[in-house]
């Protein structure tokens, strides 16, 4: 089954899907291993892991698509990707959709920021295009896809204007044909208002800083769609590396750090996890033909 069809099936079967963001193939593999149904490919995470830079629109479309292709090929669950503003004009958006489709990604979101884009939390630097221009972006994207199951989500960054503007734009984008819509509420009352007043499945973000609201609570409010913790695996990995390296720098050793881990890992655990057994078995099969 194609990843796009898998994702459509998931959305049809589950009222609410909860997952996390990956910044590389290894983090995506961990997310899959831990039992999540799909994985989000984080633009924030890509810029941090590939460039060591902040989420400020520095990566090109081809760089991101190539990274997404490797990740999608390395796991068996659907991937959903951050396609930012489409990386340029209308012809760029058409190519963006086509390239993500070819990369094996199950769906993308497009946002109504001016290109190049900034992280959604950086309100000071964000600028949005008009609703009318975004509707054209969405039409271009929908016309460009060759697989009808390929998901196109519309994200609005109109939180820099008002909650009402976010809701108004989200409904307009859904009416235009977006499969899901993304808004950026921060407080519980804003989440409730978006769920009540947006007539479409939602693709929302939670984080370590929104611990006063849970997916279960959002589901009880009537939310349907996808909840993503987009960069928490990246933050956790960065923090873990800092802790281990702090001990190594101070003592010249790191054994105490690994003793504290709930899931300590060494070569014996890591090689099977990363798929060494399958590669060896594959090569042995064909080496046997030479005997």
Q: Which of 213, 143, 214, 227 is nearest to 180 (CA)?
A: 227
Mean pLDDT calculated for residue range 86-95: 97
Phi, psi for residue 194 in degrees, rounded to 5:
-65, -40
Work out the pLDDT band at 246, boundaries 50, 70, 90. Answer: very high
pLDDT above 90: residue 8? yes
Q: Which pLDDT score is estimated for 103?
A: 98
Q: What is the dihedral of CA 265, 268, 274, 275, to 10 degrees?
A: -160
pLDDT above 80: residue 115? yes
Domain with CATH 3.20.20.60 in the chain: 3-231
Angle between helices 131-144 and 90-102 (to 10 degrees): 40
Q: Which pLDDT score is estimated for 184?
A: 97
- 51 DSSP 8-state letter: I
Work out the pLDDT band at 101, boundaries 50, 70, 90. Answer: very high
Indicate the length of the chain as a whole number.
Answer: 291
pLDDT tens-digit series, residues 182-211? 999 999 999 999 999 999 999 999 998 887
User: With pLDDT > 90 as the criterion, what percentage of the chain qualifies?
Assistant: 94
pLDDT tens-digit series, residues 49-89? 999 999 999 999 999 999 999 999 999 999 999 999 999 99
Say if CB 140 and CB 177 are below 8 A apart.
no
Give the CATH number of domain 3-231: 3.20.20.60
Q: Which pLDDT score is estimated for 187?
A: 93
pLDDT above 90: residue 222? yes
Question: What's the mean pLDDT when you consider all of the chain?
Answer: 96
Q: Which pLDDT score is estimated for 291?
A: 74
pTM: 0.95
pLDDT above 90: residue 11? yes
Mean pLDDT calculated for residue range 88-116: 97
């Amino acid at each position: 089954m194609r990843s796009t069809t898998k994702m459509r099936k998931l959305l049809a079967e589950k009222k609410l899907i909860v997952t996390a963001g990956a910044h590389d193939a290894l983090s995506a593999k961990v997310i899959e291993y831990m039992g999540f149904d799909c994985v989000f490919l984080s633009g924030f995470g890509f810029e941090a892991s590939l460039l060591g830079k902040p989420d400020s629109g520095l990566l090109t479309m081809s760089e991101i698509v190539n990274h997404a292709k490797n990740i999608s090929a390395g796991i068996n669950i659907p991937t959903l990707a951050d396609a930012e503003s489409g990386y340029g004009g209308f012809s760029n958006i058409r190519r963006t959709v086509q390239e993500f489709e070819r990369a094996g990604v199950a769906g993308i979101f497009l946002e109504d920021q001016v290109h190049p884009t900034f992280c959604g939390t950086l309100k000071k630097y964000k600028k949005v295009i008009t609703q009318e221009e975004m509707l054209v972006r969405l039409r271009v994207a929908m016309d460009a896809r060759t697989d009808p199951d390929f998901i196109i989500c519309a994200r609005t960054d109109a939180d820099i204007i008002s909650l009402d503007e976010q809701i108004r734009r989200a409904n307009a984008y859904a009416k235009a044909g977006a499969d899901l819509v993304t808004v950026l509420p921060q407080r519980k009352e804003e989440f409730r208002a978006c769920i009540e007043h947006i007539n479409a499945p939602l693709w929302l973000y939670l984080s370590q800083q929104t611990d006063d609201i849970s997916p279960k609570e959002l589901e009880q409010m009537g939310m349907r769609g996808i909840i993503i913790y987009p960069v928490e695996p990246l933050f956790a990995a960065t923090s873990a590396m800092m802790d281990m390296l702090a001990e190594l720098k101070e003592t010249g050793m790191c054994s105490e750090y690994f003793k504290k881990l709930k899931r300590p890992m060494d070569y014996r655990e890591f090689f099977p996890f990363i798929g060494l057994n399958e590669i060896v078995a594959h090569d042995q099969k064909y080496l046997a033909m030479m005997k």
